Amino acid sequence: MIQDKTQKGLTKTFFNYSIPCIIAMFLTSFVTIVDGMFIGNKLGGRGLAAVNLTLPVLYLLLGITIMIGLGGMTLATHSLGAKDIVRARQRFAFTFVLNAVIILGMAVLLRGLLDNVVYILNAKEELQSYVKDYLGTMSFFYLFMMMNIIFSMFIRGEGKPQLSLFFGIAGNIINIMLDYLFIIKLDYGMKGAALATGIAVMIPFFLGCIYFLSGRSAYRFVQFSFDRTDFTSIVFNGSSEFIGQISICITTYLFNFVILRRIGIGGVAAFTIIGYVFFIQYMIITGIAQGVNTLVSYSFGARDRETTIRLLAIGMKAVVVVGTITFIVLMGCTEGVVRLFAGDRSEIIKIASGGMRIHILAFLLNGYNFIASAYFTSIGDAKTSAAISILRSLVLISLFIMVLPIVLGDIGIWLTVPLAEAVTFILSYARISKSRAQLRLT
C-alpha cells in the first residue's frame, strides 16, 4: 500500500488516495447540492427550508453508517496490514451485514412513524406537506445511500479509490438528469427531488455489489460468526465519527428551532443555503480525512511510527490550504453563490449573504479539528477522538446557539460555529502535539 516512504513518495501516495476520496465525497455532496439548486429555484424558500428540516434524520443515519463503516474498515485494514486476508474478509462481511440490518430497521421505523417524525422536526403548517413528501419518499432509499458509503470506504481501503470515484460519477450524472426531469419538467415537487436522489444512489449500490461479488476485490462476502470483541471495537473506534454526526443532527435541529422563531421560514431557507456551502467543504475535508485514515491505519498497524507522523502532517497541511482557499473564494463571491439557490428572492439573498460571510470563518480551523479526530480514530485512541468531536460539534455549538443570539442578536446565530471551532482548536493542537511526541519515543 505504501511503497515509497520518501517525503515525495508519501505525498504522492497521500494524494493518490485522498484526491479520489475528495472527488468522491464532493460528488456525494453534489447530489444534495443539485437537489438544492433545483428545489430553491423551482419551489422557493419553503422547499429549501423543508429540506433543512429533514437533515437531522439524514445525519442520524450517516452517524450510524460512518461509525460502523470507519470502525469496521479500520479493523479490516489493520488485518490487511498484518497480511491476515481471511480475517479482513470476515470483518468486511460483518460490517456490511451489521450496517444493512440497522439502517433497514430504522428506515422501516421512519416510514411507520412518519407523521410523528414530521411533527418532531417542527414542520408545521405550510412546511408540513413539503417535509412529509420529501422524507416519506427518501425513506425507501436511505438504505442504498448508506450502503454506498460502506462500499466506498472498503474499496478505498484496499487501494482502489479511482473505482469508488467512478461509481460516484455514474450516480451523480443520473441524479442531475432525473432532477431536471422530475422537478422541472414533470413538476413532482419535493417527491420528485427525493425520487431523483433515490434512483441515483441505487446506481453505485448495484455497481458495488457486482464488484464485491466478482472476486476482483481483496474483500469477500464470506461466512462469519458474531464476534463481540470486533463489535465492541467497531463501535468504540467509530464512536467519535458517530458522535460528530449525531451532534450535527442535534445542532441542526437547534439551529432550525432558533431560526424559525427569530427570523422565520426565510431564515431557515438562508441557513439551508449556507448549509449547502458548508456541506461541500465538509465533504472535501472528509475525503482528505478518509485518505489519512486509510494510510495512517495501515502504517500504524505495521508499526511504522515515522510514516504515521509524516502522513498526519501532510493531511493537516492539506485541510488548512483547502479551508483558507475556500474562505477567500466565498468571501469574494458570496452573493453569487447564494443566487444559485435563491434565484432573485431578495429577502433570502440578504439574510444568507450576511450570515455566510460570518459563518465561513469556521473554514479556517474546522479542517484541522476534523483531521485530528480522524487521526486519533486511526491509531485506536477513540477517547481523544470522541472528546474532540463532542466538544466541537455538540457541546460548544449547543451552548453558543442558545446563548449568543440572546446576547448578540441574530449575528450570534452565525458566530456560533466559528467560535466553537476556535475553542476546539486549542484542545486539538495540544493533543496532536502530545501524540507526535509519544510516537517518536516508541
Q: Determine the pLDDT at residue 342.
A: 85
Give me the sign of the Cα torsion angle 392, 397, 403, 406. positive
Which three cell numbers mark 345? Answer: 428572492
CB atoms near residue 270 (< 10 Å): 32
Exposed/middle/buried for residue 442 (C-beta within 10 Å: 0-12, 13-18, 19+): exposed
Q: So what's the pLDDT on residue 358?
A: 94
Question: Is residue 134 one of the residues assigned to a domain?
Answer: yes
The enclosing H or E element of 380 equals none
Inside any domain, residue 2: no
pLDDT at 442: 63
Nearest to 132 by CA among 109, 114, 120, 145: 114
In the numeric block, the cell 415537487 is attached to 189
pLDDT tens for residues 18-75?
Answer: 777 777 667 666 767 777 888 888 888 888 888 889 989 998 998 899 889 888 888 8
Tell me, what's the pLDDT at 3?
57
What per-residue confidence (pLDDT) applies to 359?
Answer: 92
What local confidence, expressed as pLDDT, does residue 29 receive? 66
Contacts (Cβ under 8 Å, ≥6 apart) of 256:
52, 53, 121, 122, 268, 271
Q: Does residue 1 belong to any structural domain of this protein? A: no
Model confidence, pTM:
0.75
pLDDT computed for residue 146 by the predictor: 93
Alpha carbons 207 and 205: distance in angstroms, whole number: 5
pLDDT at 2: 58
Q: Domain range holding 52?
A: 7-441
Residue with cell 432532477: 179
Domains of the chain: total = 1
- Separation between Cα atoms, residue 179 and residue 14, nearest integer Å: 35
pLDDT digits (tens, 9 = 90+) for 342-395: 887 888 899 999 999 999 999 999 999 989 988 888 887 878 888 888 888 889
Q: How many residues does the structure list for the chain?
A: 442
Query: Could you give the CA distance from residue 249 to residue 308 in angstroms, rounded to a whole number?
Result: 32
**SS3 (DSSP) at 160:** coil
Residue of 3, 52, 15, 13 lying closest to 288 (CA atoms): 15
Residue 72 falls within a domain, yes or no? Answer: yes
User: Could you give the angle at the alpha carbon of 129 between the alpha carbons of 123 and 131, nearest 5°?
Assistant: 55
Supply the pLDDT for residue 59: 86
**Mean pLDDT, 10 residues at a time, over the chain (442 residues)?**
60 74 69 80 87 89 89 82 80 91 95 92 85 94 93 80 78 88 91 92 91 84 82 81 80 92 90 86 82 76 76 87 92 90 86 93 92 85 84 90 94 95 94 84 65
How much is the pLDDT for 328?
94
Residue found under cell 441542526: 252
